[in-house]
Amino acid sequence: MREKRVRGMKRKTNKLIEAHTVEFPVEFYNGYWHLHLPIAQEFINSTKTPMKIKRLCMQTLIDRAKYLIQIKPNEKETYRVVAAINLANLWNSQIIIFKGDTYFKDFFCRDDEYQKWLRLSSD
């Protein structure tokens, strides 16, 4: 039996992400706050999910990160907002807000046998 088509995927996807990023977060754990893509893993990683919807999810994460940058508080503390997109596994994509530079700098030190950053080409 075929699965029923989900209507309004674009609208529902946008609303889910926007609902979690209306206000700038105030509670940080270990120097950061993060929001994973609030969508079922089976849905976003499925080959049946249209590329248009996957692209929309990633663009919405980027747009909301931009919005959070615009509303971040003017304090002595430095806040860095990052949209981390994982192309191999879209469900692991997230928005990360670092409070202060200490954890931000440590987060990007990934040069061991288990984790390594790869540069994207400028094309």
Domain-located, residue 110: no
List CB contacts of 18: < 8 A, sequence separation 6 or more: 60, 64
pLDDT tens digits for range 95-108: 999 998 888 887 77
Domain-located, residue 112: no
Q: To 10 degrees, what angle do helices 51-71 and 9-20 make?
A: 30
pLDDT tens digits for range 17-53: 777 778 888 888 888 899 888 888 888 888 888 888 8
Largest pairwise CA distance in the chain: 58
Structure tokens at 18: 């926007």
Domain-located, residue 121: no
Domain-located, residue 117: no
Q: How far is CA 101 from CA 20, 54, 62, in A?
A: 24, 31, 21
Number of structural domains in the chain: 1
Domain-located, residue 1: no
Domain-located, residue 48: yes
Domain-located, residue 3: no
The CA dihedral of 14, 19, 24, 28, to the nearest 10 degrees, is -110
Per-residue pLDDT at 111: 75
Structure tokens at 103: 């954890």
Residue ranges of alpha helices (H) inside 45-116 are: 51-71, 101-107
DSSP-assigned letters across all residues of 31-58: TEEEEE--S-HHHHT-TTS-HHHHHHHH
**Domain residues for 48?**
9-104
